[in-house]
Amino acid sequence: MLSRRELTGFFLGFIGVVIFGTTLPATRYAMPALDPFFISMGRAALASLLAAIYLLVVRPPFPTREQRRDLYLIGFLLVLGFPLFMAIGMQTVPANHGGVVLGILPLATAAAAALIANERPSPAFWLAGIAGAALVILYALRQSSLDELATGDLALLGAVLAAAAGYTLSGRLTGTMSGPLVISWALVLTSPLWIVWTIAVWPENAASVPWDVWAAFLYVAIFSQYLGFFFWNAGLHRGGIARVGQVQLLQIFVTIAVAAWLNQETIDAETLVFAVAVVGVVLAGMRARVKR
């Protein structure tokens, strides 16, 4: 039986997942008009500005040496690695396809939680996670040509590994500082790199980029890169990294639905079948024991 604290963690994690689920379609929508490197670095630079304002208002103590070590890692994993790999992947695969491939992220997060945060999922949990990952891999193989698999899915795999490690480090840090502070300090401490890089790749045709493309960019900067982590980090802290990490499987449905509306992508029966199967397997795994 889940405690009230764990249920709150799942609820907060779900809000984060809804916010993150729109990231792939929004990134793909902006891709034809904006370079993937600009999208990745620009979203980080803008989010860093918001984080600096937040820190100036809250005025928290400066992170300790040990905290700064993890914050720098989180910055490079979640601010650089995940968005950049994802943007590269979105150049060759549809957003709904990417959403299903990212379904392996809960298993990767559970593995990272065991290695980094000393959480101990039960054998039943691992079996459910491995079954979900196997379904995701099978889907990717059925949907991709060999060329697409080499460029798109492998880039998305890099995004999965970066996110899993970054989420786990963030969840571990929430034991000593709040979730908003974790992502805010991670952004601000690494902000010089994002700002300089954004200036270097600033689009020459910025004035002619349509407003709806800029709106998609603003979404991934404000919500995906910053505000979503307020809810997600708090959920990981309350419900446990491995457990709440499984809520990410619901992100598939958000991504598929938004991609159908924003990118006019067709939702075929096979995609829905695999999405339902993966979510069902991992929801079963959520009932398995995890020692924290």
Domain boundaries, the chain: 4-291
Single out the residue of 236, 234, 257 nearest to residue 248, CA to CA.
Answer: 236
pLDDT of residue 290: 63
pLDDT of residue 283: 72
pLDDT of residue 84: 87
Q: Residue 144: what are its φ and ψ, rounded to 5°?
A: -110, 145
pTM: 0.85
pLDDT of residue 3: 78
Regions of the chain short of the pLDDT cut 70: 1-2, 140, 143-150, 282, 286-292
Question: What string of DSSP letters covers the chain?
Answer: ---HHHHHHHHHHHHHHHHHHTHHHHHHHHTTTS-HHHHHHHHHHHHHHHHHHHHHHH-PPPPPHHHHHHHHHHIIIIIIIHHHHHHHHTTTS-HHHHHHHGGGHHHHHHHHHHHHS--EE-HHHHHHHHHHHHHHHHHHHHH--HHHIIIIIHHHHHHHHHHHHHHHHHHHHTTTS-HHHHHHHHHHHHHHHHHHHHHHT--TTGGGS-HHHHHHHHHIIIIIIIIHHHHHHHHHHHH-HHHHHGGGGGHHHHHHHHHHHHS-----HHHHHHHHHHHHHHHHHHTS-EE-
pLDDT of residue 289: 63
Single out the residue of 4, 37, 35 nearest to residue 239, CA to CA.
Answer: 4
Distance (Å, rounded) from C-alpha 145 to C-alpha 63? 47
Q: What number of CA atoms fall less than 13 Å from residue 14's CA on the CB side?
A: 8
pLDDT of residue 39: 92
